[in-house]
């Protein structure tokens, strides 16, 4: 991209010098010394053009070949060769215009490449942001799925807690042996409760709390002098929550006052 404009400028310098030489010969307004000086200048430019052509890519070879040919004809004109026809100056001018056009095209191509690079970079930034959002969304969905699976598993184990609660209510201690059994039962029950609590299981508010339809299921209403209006006076079955998800509501009795 950057090499083509450079080649065009050097060719323009070379051909511009050649034009000046040809015009000075055609009008025969210069002395012999001036002609020799012009010829030397053209030869120097030609040598620079040839060195540039050697270091250029193969794609630029046709353009430089045409320029070299015109430079050679310019040298012939400067030396007074009779082989230079009347259309040489016009051809040389046309070649200069073509090289200018190629230089402008190369510059436009460079600008277009920069625009494409910027667009690609913006697209990469957008794709990176989309991927980051996708990663966060996938991670949140995975956590939600884990929570649901654990909650469903704990829900299946809730009847075990109910049976322990029911057995404790039915247990009557009359002898020393039954007392030891009760203590062993309490230790086992406490261990089970600690295990479920460690997994994130929490009991809903029970007796003495305000009735909440979000976590309580009222199956009875009873007049009570002990509890205020709308307060849970008795709990028939415990309710449980897991990570802010209600696994099941508590079955309760709600107190009311006669008005």
Give tens-digit pLDDT for 107-120.
888 988 988 999 89
Query: What is the average pLDDT value for the chain, to the nearest integer?
Result: 76
Residue 249's pLDDT band, with cuts at 50, 70 and 90, is very high
- Summarize the chain as % helix, strand, coil (round to 5): 70, 15, 20
Edge to edge, the sheet with strand 216-223 lists 216-223, 250-256, 232-237
Is residue 45 predicted with pLDDT exceeding 50?
no
H or E stretch at 251: strand 250-256
Is residue 211 predicted with pLDDT exceeding 80?
yes
Q: How far apart are CA 124 and CA 121, in angstroms?
A: 5
Contacts of 258 (CB under 8 A, 6+ apart): 223
Q: How far apart are CA 15 and CA 48, in angstroms?
A: 12
Contacts of 181 (CB under 8 A, 6+ apart): 171
CATH 2.30.22.10 fits 158-256, yes or no: yes
Q: Average pLDDT in the 115-127 region?
A: 91
Q: How far apart are CA 164 and CA 156, in angstroms?
A: 15
**Residue 253 has which token pair?**
């009795």
Q: What is the pLDDT of residue 131?
A: 94
Residue 27's pLDDT band, with cuts at 50, 70 and 90, is very low
Angle (CA) 224 257 255, round 5°: 50
Q: Residue holding tokens 């996938």?
A: 138
Angle (CA) 21 25 27, round 5°: 120
Q: Which of 234, 212, 238 minimizes the C-alpha distance to 223?
A: 234
**Residue 43 has which token pair?**
């030869």
pTM for this model (two decimals): 0.51
Q: How far apart are CA 169 and CA 238, in angstroms?
A: 14
Q: Average pLDDT in the 103-130 region?
A: 90
H or E stretch at 24: helix 3-27
Q: What is the pLDDT of residue 40?
A: 56
Q: Which of 77, 69, 62 minimizes the C-alpha distance to 19?
A: 77
């Amino acid at each position: 991209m950057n090499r083509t404009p450079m080649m065009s400028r050097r060719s323009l310098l070379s051909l511009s010098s050649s034009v000046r030489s040809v015009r000075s010969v055609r009008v025969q307004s210069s002395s012999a010394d001036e002609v020799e000086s012009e010829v030397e200048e053209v030869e120097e430019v030609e040598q620079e053009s040839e060195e540039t052509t050697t270091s250029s890519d193969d794609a630029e070879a046709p353009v430089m070949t045409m320029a070299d040919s015109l430079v050679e004809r310019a040298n012939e004109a400067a030396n007074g060769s009779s082989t230079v026809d009347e259309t040489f100056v016009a051809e040389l001018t046309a070649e200069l215009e073509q090289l200018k056009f190629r230089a402008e095209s190369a510059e436009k191509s460079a600008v277009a490449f920069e625009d494409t690079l910027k667009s690609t970079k913006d697209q990469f930034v957008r794709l990176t942001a989309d991927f980051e959002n996708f990663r966060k969304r996938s991670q949140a969905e995975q956590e939600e799925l884990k929570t649901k699976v654990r909650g469903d598993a704990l829900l299946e184990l809730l009847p075990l807690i109910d049976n322990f609660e029911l057995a404790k209510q039915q247990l009557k201690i009359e002898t020393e042996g039954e007392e030891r059994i009760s203590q062993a039962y309490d230790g086992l029950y406490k261990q089970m409760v600690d295990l479920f609590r460690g997994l994130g299981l929490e009991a809903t508010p029970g007796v003495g709390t305000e009735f909440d339809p979000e976590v309580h299921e009222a199956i009875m209403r009873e007049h009570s002098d002990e509890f205020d209006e709308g307060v849970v006076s008795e709990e028939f079955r415990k309710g449980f929550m897991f990570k802010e998800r209600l696994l099941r509501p508590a079955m309760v009795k709600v107190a009311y006052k006669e008005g």
